[in-house]
């Protein structure tokens, strides 16, 4: 192992060797894209509720995403969107729930990387050995989740501004509406002793 510069630290070397730098970059991107999507959901509630912005924000401002999505779903279901648009909203919310579970595990359990393999576990916080989970991901899983968050955001924006869709070419729309890239990875349970 050769140091590339005299200013490179031991932490830099260890992170580059372990793959943690890649994990941190992709995880940081995931957190930021998720936060942007949360903001888009607040904007959607303001838009579709029909309430003045101040009133909508006094009701849902600062709400947890699960509560916001619940309220937004009710507003969408009784609102003026067409049935295909409502179905599109449900498809987006279903996949957002999948990505929310991934986010919860990575944020609250942490993660370690060895090259392109990521491990996240609740080993030290589980109530019992039977509830210990080990989630094993590949760095590509985070790349796919990031791509899906961006596509989710755009698809939700299109529900608010369907006329914008005409500005995109067919190839872009095909990529936007292709099947989700991130496929949920089931955590492994520790074998009972």
Q: What is the pTM of this model?
A: 0.86
Residue identified by tokens 């699960």 is 66
CB 112, CB 20: distance < 8 Å: yes
Strands (E) located in 37-181: 112-114, 117-121, 133-138
- What is the band of 17 on the pLDDT scale with cuts at 50, 70, 90? low
* Burial group, residue 147, by CB count within 10 angstroms (0-12, 13-18, 19+): middle
Which range among 3-12, 72-81, 183-192 shows the weakest confidence by mean pLDDT? 3-12
pLDDT digits (tens, 9 = 90+) for 51-64: 999 999 999 999 99
Q: In the predicted model, what is the mean pLDDT of residues 59-79?
A: 96
Q: Which residues contact 24 (CB under 8 A, 6 or more apart)?
A: 15
pLDDT digits (tens, 9 = 90+) for 88-109: 999 999 999 999 999 999 999 9
CA distance 179 to 167: 22
- What is the band of 1 on the pLDDT scale with cuts at 50, 70, 90? very low
At residue 45, the pLDDT reads 97
């Amino acid at each position: 192992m050769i140091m590339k510069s005299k200013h490179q630290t031991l932490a830099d070397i260890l992170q580059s060797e372990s793959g943690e730098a890649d994990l941190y970059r992709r995880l940081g991107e995931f957190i930021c894209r998720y936060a942007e999507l949360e903001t888009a959901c607040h904007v959607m509630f303001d838009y579709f509720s029909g309430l003045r912005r101040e009133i909508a924000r006094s009701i849902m401002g600062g709400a947890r995403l699960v509560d916001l999505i619940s309220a937004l779903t009710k507003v969408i279901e009784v609102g003026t969107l067409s049935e295909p648009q409502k179905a599109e909203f449900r498809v987006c919310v279903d996949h957002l729930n999948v990505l929310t579970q991934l986010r919860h595990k990575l944020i609250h359990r942490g993660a370690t990387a060895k090259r392109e393999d990521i491990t996240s576990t609740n080993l030290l916080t589980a109530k019992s050995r039977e509830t210990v989970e080990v989630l094993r991901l590949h760095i590509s899983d985070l790349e796919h989740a990031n791509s899906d968050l961006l596509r989710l955001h755009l698809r939700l924006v299109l529900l608010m501004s369907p006329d914008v869709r005409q500005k995109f070419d067919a190839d872009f729309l095909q990529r936007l509406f292709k099947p989700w890239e991130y496929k949920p990875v089931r955590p492994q349970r520790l074998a009972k002793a």
